[in-house]
Structure formats: C-alpha cells, structure tokens
Amino acid sequence: MTGPLVLGLDGGGSKTLVALADADGEIVGAGRGAGINPMDNPDWRRELGAVLAALGADPAAIGAAAVGLPAYGEVATVARTQDAAIAELLGPGPVDILNDVDLAQYGAFAGAPGILILSGSGSMAWARDGAGQSYRVGGWGEAIGDEGSAYWIGMRAIALVSQDIDGRTRAPGLRAALFAHLGLDPATPMDSLTGWVAGLVHRRSGIAALAEVVAAEAMAGDVDALAILEAAAEELARHVAAIARQVPGGATLPWSYAGGTLRSPLLLKAVERRIGRPALPPRLPPIGGALLHAARRVGWAVDAGWIDRLATTLAGHTAFNPTTKRTSSTKQGEQGDAWKDSTLDDRVRGAADRGARTG
C-alpha cells in the first residue's frame, strides 16, 4: 500500500495506545505505553514522547493525525501545555486534538449521534447530537467526582475494608481478597493497608486497579462487592440520564460505553437495567475513533466496509488486546478473567442462597 498514513492516539490515565493505518483500514504500526493524564502524572510529557518515539513513524508519511488526550479542554493552562507537546512531537501537519472521551464517543458511534458513558480510571458521559454539537456530564476528577469509575470503586473497597478492620462493619470476604491481591500481611492490617496506599507512585491508577478485585468478588457472590458495583451502576446511569436531558431528542438517542470497568458484564447489565434499554456495542474502540477521525480529515472515502476492516484489525492486534495474564501491577483497563458473563441479579440470588444455607 502506498500513499499517506493516518495516526491515531488514545491517551488515558492508565495506558496510551497509538496506531498507524493505511487507506484500506489496515493497521501498519501500533504501540502501547503508560498513562498520560497531566492531572496526576508529572511524567506525562515524557511518557507521551516515549510511546510516539517507539512507534517510529516518519512524519512525512502521515497525512493526518487525531489525538485524544485526558483532561484536554478542561483546564486552559493544561490544554496549552498539551497543545505545545503535540506540536513538538508531531510537527506542523494536520493534527486534531480532542478530549479522550470525545474521541471515544466518536469511535463508539463512528461519528454519529449518541450518548457514551465512560468508566475507566475516571468517569464521564459525552454525547453528540444530529448537528454535531457535543455535550458532557461528569469528568470532575477523583478529588471532586468521577462517580462510578474504577477509582471510585477501588476507594469504596478500601473504605469498606478499613471499616471491617475497625469492627465498624463486616466485610470479611472483600478484606481477605484485597489483602491477598496486594500481598498484605493480615496480622498487621492497619499498617499494611495504609502503608500500601502511602507507597503508591501513581495513586489514581493504583487504586483504580482494585476495581477488578471487586469484580472478581462480585462474580463469586460476595454481597459487599455486589453492593459496590450496584452503587457504581446507579452513578453511571445518572450520568446518562443527566446528559440525555441536555441533548435535543436525548431520550431516544442510542447509548454506548467505553472504559475498562464496563467490560464487566455484571456492571454493564446493571447500568442497562437502570437506563431501561440495552447498550449499543461500540462501533470502534477509542483508538479506532482516532483513526477514523484522522481518515476523514485526510479525505479518504471512508464507508462501512472500511470501518469494519478497521474494527477487525484492531480486535486482532496484540497491542490493543494483550493476551498476558493480569497481575497485581497491571493497570485498569487490561482486565482478565474477572469480567466473565453474569448478572448482578444472578450473583445476588446466589449469595443469598449461600447465606440461607449457612445461616
């Protein structure tokens, strides 16, 4: 294949994906790196440069680029530093910079109207109407909001475990699972748990990674883990309801999802139950949204077949779907076996049955 390529970048709080695609919708280069959220990662500029350098793309071969960056457009001073970094790293060519959730919505609906709910390290809802106007709800960051996010789930798990340690409540299953996952000493619970939190280099992504522990325990029927996921589903559904009220015709717009936390069928089905209608599976993942945006910017004749080929090649690429088994150091968004199909209702009934047999 000759001719220009397009570059897409999907930056998040826990990981960054970058890809090159040709005019046939085939991936010709890809890379994966650390998170680049400037709100909690002082090394974000270095990490961004590293993932682009590893890709090794010739700037002269890139016809257009689309870049999704966390926190972009939310704080003016931060956005200016992001603009400067992208200009330095990608040069003067056609480059569109968007908020990472904006780009996720673009990919999920292939640029069409719709509502996206994202739950990864943070949480946010983003929508486009028929005129291309964007709307957002949430995304306030963990210090203010991010309800229903992986970080929010992780913090509630830590809080509940601390209360169990004190004797203020009972959550023995979640406490045991959390301590086992983190390799903490149950003989010194307070010192172990507070020491782990204090030693986190990237607190947000480290705590967000605990969402999978909660999901695994929920799958096993732990009522405390189930309650945390139910509360998260309630918060995410409230995001969707709020943004639907802002968008003309929002009540009938399709909705979809993004972010590692919503790979949990338990959580997704709980959100669907509250919204009252099923989610539309994402047409493309966020990195695909970036490539699609760049392809249209460069003027390619993008049709449904092109989008299908892109989706297929992305799904089969190891950079975007790592096959390695998850460890305690794996970042949120790279889920393993905890995200198996089930429903919260099934798990609640199972837990209740076990409680009845042992009570």
| 344-358 and 265-275 helices, crossing angle to 10° | 110
Contacts of 163 (CB under 8 A, 6+ apart): 169, 171
Q: Which residue has the tokens 């330095």?
A: 88
pLDDT value of position 121: 86
CB atoms within 10 A of CB 316: 10
Is the Cα torsion angle 148, 152, 154, 159 positive or negative in sign? negative
Question: Is residue 189 one of the residues assigned to a domain?
Answer: yes
- Rounded to an integer, the average pLDDT of 36-41 is 84
The pLDDT score that the predictor gives to residue 2 is 59
End-to-end CA distance of the chain: 67
Q: Is the Cα dihedral 213, 316, 50, 85 positive or negative? A: negative
Q: Give the mean pLDDT of 120-126.
A: 92
Looking at the predicted structure, is the pLDDT value of residue 359 above 60?
Answer: no
The most distant pair of C-alpha atoms in the chain lies apart, rounded to whole Å, by: 70
- For residues 231 and 206, membership in a common domain is answered with yes
pLDDT in tens, 3-13: 789 999 998 87
The span from the CA of 306 to the CA of 317, in Å, is 17
At 349 the pLDDT is 39
Q: Are residues 71 and 203 in the same domain?
A: no
Residue 115 predicted with pLDDT over 70: yes
| Residue 125 and residue 172 in one domain | yes
Q: Kindly state the tokens that stand for 310.
A: 């892109």
Shared-domain flag, residues 260 and 208: yes
Q: Please tell me the pTM assigned to this model.
A: 0.81
The answer to whether residue 126 sits within a structural domain is: yes
> What CA–CA distance (Å, rounded) separates 5 from 7?
7
Domain that holds residue 211: 115-280+331-359
Tell me the CA distances in angstroms from 131 to 103, 110, 249, 250, 282, one per residue in order. Answer: 17, 15, 12, 13, 20
Using the predicted structure, report yes or no on whether residue 97 has a pLDDT greater than 80: yes
CATH number of residue 172's parent domain: 3.30.420.40
- Contact present, 52 and 17 (Cβ < 8 Å): no
Residue 352, pLDDT > 70, answer: no
